[in-house]
Structure 1
Amino acid sequence: GGTFDLKSNYSKRLKFVQSIVNNFWKRWMRDYWHTMVVRKKWHVVKRNVCPKDIVLVKDSNAIKGIWKIAEVISVDVGRDGLVRTVTLRYKICQPGISYKGSKDKMMERSVHRLV
């Protein structure tokens, strides 16, 4: 294996590790995320999203590696009979902190932003 320089600058090392993490998430979003999102017009039609389904929510503003898990509360169906948007319920919680008692948050999202 390689040698580990104990005298190197910690801030340089931190920046280096951060750049590796950022590059990983950039490539993951570019190369892998789209494989998780089903595009109905390109694939065999599957069942619509339904109330009480549990989904992952893509949020470009979220911290990398952290995804919201939400419950589908209601769906809006287009003229073609396919679900286009959904109303979701989720809780805001932080690792290591109990979310019991925290209020539910609601949001509306396109089904294209869900897995």
Structure 2
Amino acid sequence: MAKKAVTPKSSSSNSAEALAFNKSALKQNVLILRAIDHPLRQKLLKLIDKKKNITVKEIKAKNVIDGVIVSQHLAILRKAGLVTSEKFGRIVSYSINYPAFEKAMDKFNELSK
């Protein structure tokens, strides 16, 4: 008599939770990839890394990017979690979120193997 293969039943709630988690992680990875894919944002990241903390005024002084666009690019980097901001009165200082940046790079290096 032949034995039937037994497949474990997975609960739909566990599957939905796993899918939701993966979808959330995927969205974050896409945000990060889009953020670092733009050449001007790459320049911004290099500049912030070099200075450790930098303001929009300092970025404008370097003539890296037109002043109006700087804040938009910084907002994208901040939304992706790669850059943090700290407000001192009316001045906002930006710095790289190194733990998040390194975690993202580790993920992408792992995927490229």
Is the TM value for this pair above 0.5?
A: no
Return the structure number with greater relative CO, CA threshold 8 A, min gap 6: 2
**Between structures 1 and 2, the one with greater strand share:** 1
Structure-1-length-normalised TM-score:
0.31
Which is higher, the Rg of structure 1 or of structure 2? 2
